């Protein structure tokens, strides 16, 4: 699905990613944990094509193509999706209009027919239920005046509507209340299948109770320094990152 090799990224003369390697196969769910400022969002942003990053080395292969060579929109059309850590509000742009434009841009890229308004509305209504968002949210401007949790649910609504093959979820669990966490996790579980892969960035163990992660990676100082199974998340929760740093030192 995606293969990241020796990725080195600089932001304003500061090296943030320092030779990062990661491979995600179809159907796998990988979790990235790591301290604040380690470079997790930088990785997500670079993968989705945000500008302002200097890629000084490495390459990324996404479904057989050179990901770093594509525009952000081409990446999305090829099946990559990022749920933003801080989704931005877009005044004046209606959420439903935006989502429909998005679906149809991807349809067009794939030489498939546009979805008409009635079918779209039907589809969106059922998706809204999955993330427990009221219909009024798609009639409002994108994310404008949405609460933190509502924004995150709106991101997941977009994910299950656009049906990406690789979803990068940057702290989607932050800001969700206890019930919403459960609903969103169920939404992700329903969406999972043997073709769809996930990179989930999180600080907490709690969402992992609902999902079945295949791997947990620890990202510190621009590199993945430790990889393990689900139990690693629990160890991190108990012992903190200093524990990882110590074991690194002893290596």
Partner 1 sequence: MGNQGLSTFTPIQIVNAHLQSRDFQDSFPSFRESAQDYFTKSGFPTSKTEAWRFTNISPILKTKFEYHHHQEENKDQIPAPTYADKCLKIDILNGRVAGKSLDHLSFETEGILLNIISEDITDTKTVLSSLVSSDGNPTAFTALNMALFSQVIHLHIPDNHIVSKPILLNIFSQSSENPVSSNIRIHITGGKHSQFTIIETYSGNGKTYFNNSVIDINLDSDAKLEYYKIQNESDTSYHISNTVINQGKSSIMNANILSFSGKLIRNDIQVDLNGEGAELNLFGLTLGQSQDHIDNTVLVNHRKPHCMSNQLFKNILDHKSHGVFSGLITVYEDAQKTDARQKNQNLLLSETASVNSNPQLEINADDVRCSHGSTTGQLDDEAIFYLRSRGISYEDARKMLISGFAHEIVNGIGYTPIKDSLNIFLDNYLT
Which residue from 81, 83, 72, 73 is spatially nearest to 131, judged by alpha carbons? 83
The reply on whether position 178 binds partner 1 by CB under 8 A is no
Residues 73-92 that bind ligand ATP (CB under 6 A): 85
Question: What is the closest distance, in whole angstroms, from the C-beta atom of residue 94 to partner 1 in the complex?
Answer: 8
Question: What is the closest distance, in whole angstroms, from the C-beta atom of residue 201 to ligand ATP in the complex?
Answer: 7
Among 2, 30, 42, 124, binds ligand ATP (CB under 6 A): 42
Question: What is the closest distance, in whole angstroms, from the C-beta atom of residue 39 to Mg ion in the complex?
Answer: 9
DSSP class of residue 115 equals P
How far apart are the C-alpha atoms of 241 and 235, rounded to whole Å? 10
Sheet containing strand 2-11, strands side by side: 14-24, 2-11, 54-62, 65-66
Judged by CB under 8 A, the stretch of 11-19, 83-91, 221-229, 235-243 that binds partner 1 is: 83-91
- Helix pair 178-191, 117-130: axis angle to 10 deg: 130
Strands 29-33 and 14-24: unpaired
- Find which of Mg ion, partner 1, ligand ATP, none residue 162 binds, CB within 5 to 8 Å per kind: partner 1
How far apart are the C-alpha atoms of 241 and 192, rounded to whole Å? 30
Among 25, 50, 129, 139, binds partner 1 (CB under 8 A): 50
Residues that bind partner 1 (CB under 8 A): 48-51, 71-73, 75-77, 81-82, 84, 87-88, 90-93, 98-99, 101-102, 105-106, 109, 141-142, 158, 162
């Amino acid at each position: 699905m995606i293969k990241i090799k020796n990725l080195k990224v600089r932001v304003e003369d500061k090296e943030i990613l320092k030779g990062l390697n990661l491979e995600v196969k179809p159907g796998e769910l990988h979790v990235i944990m790591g301290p604040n400022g380690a470079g997790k969002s930088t990785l997500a942003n670079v993968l989705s094509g945000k500008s302002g990053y200097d890629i000084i080395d490495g390459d990324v292969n996404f479904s057989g193509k050179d990901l770093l060579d594509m525009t952000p929109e081409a990446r999305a059309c090829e099946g990559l999706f990022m749920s933003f850590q801080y989704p931005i509000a877009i005044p004046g742009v209606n959420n439903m209009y935006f989502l429909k434009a998005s679906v149809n841009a991807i349809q067009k890229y794939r030489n498939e027919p546009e979805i008409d308004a009635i079918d779209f509305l039907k589809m969106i209504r059922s998706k809204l239920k999955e993330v427990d968002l009221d219909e009024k949210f798609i009639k409002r401007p994108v994310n404008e005046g949405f609460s933190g949790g509502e924004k995150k649910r709106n991101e997941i609504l977009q994910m299950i509507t656009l049906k990406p093959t690789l979803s990068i979820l940057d702290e989607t669990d932050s800001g969700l209340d206890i019930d919403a966490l459960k609903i969103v996790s169920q939404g992700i579980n329903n969406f999972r299948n043997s073709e769809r892969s996930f990179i989930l960035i999180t600080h907490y163990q709690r969402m992992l109770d609902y999902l079945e992660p295949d791997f947990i990676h620890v990202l510190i100082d621009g590199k993945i320094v430790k990889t393990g199974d689900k139990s690693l998340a629990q160890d991190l929760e108990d012992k903190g990152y200093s524990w990882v740093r110590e074991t690194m030192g002893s290596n």
